[in-house]
Amino acid sequence: NAGVTQTPKFRILKIGQSMTLQCAQDMNHNYMYWYRQDPGMGLKLIYYSVGAGITDKGEVPNGYNVSRSTTEDFPLRLELAAPSQTSVYFCASSYSSPYEQYFGPGTRLTVT
């Protein structure tokens, strides 16, 4: 199993640009999550999904959108990028318990 994969690893965006961060898992997990981690800080939940077609907001959803058309994929869309969205983005998934989460390697995003 590849586990949780994320692309791209790094990206630099200009203010106002948009992009999609890709996340995929091959463990047949129902739950998937998107977090952001600012330097020296803990993780904050952006959006989560409990299954295909079902998504919900987390702690910091503003400026982001998600979709979950398949069990495997959970892309995160940034619209109109702002410098405040400079962060490391982690995707995670879990099967039965919301708290045994398996994380991807992260995407480092800089908005200038």
Partner 1 sequence: DAKTTQPPSMDCAEGRAANLPCNHSTISGNEYVYWYRQIHSQGPQYIIHGLKNNETNEMASLIITEDRKSSTLILPHATLRDTAVYYCIVRSSGRGYGGSQGNLIFGKGTKLSVKP
Residue ranges in contact with partner 1 by CB under 8 A: 4, 31, 33, 42-43, 45, 48, 50, 56, 58-59, 90, 92, 97-106
Minimum CB distance to partner 1 smaller for 17 or for 28: 28
Cα angle value 59/63/68 (rounded, 5°)? 75
Q: Which is nearer to partner 1, 15 or 26 (CB)?
A: 26
CB of 96 to partner 1, least distance (A): 8
Q: Toward partner 1, which CB reaches closer, 14 or 42? A: 42
Nearer to partner 1, 75 or 105 (CB): 105
Instruction: List, in order, residues 6 or more apart from 54 with CB less than 8 Å away.
Output: 68
CB contact at 8 A, 43 and 90: yes
112, 12 contact by CB (below 8 A): yes
CB of 81 to partner 1, least distance (A): 22
Q: Which two tokens stand for residue 28?
A: 């047949």
Task: Give dist(CA 41, CA 69) in Å, integer.
Answer: 31
Q: Give min distance, CB of 43 to partner 1, in A.
A: 5
Least Cα distance to 77 among 66, 62, 93, 61 occurs for: 66
For residue 80, the minimal CB distance to partner 1 (Å) is 25
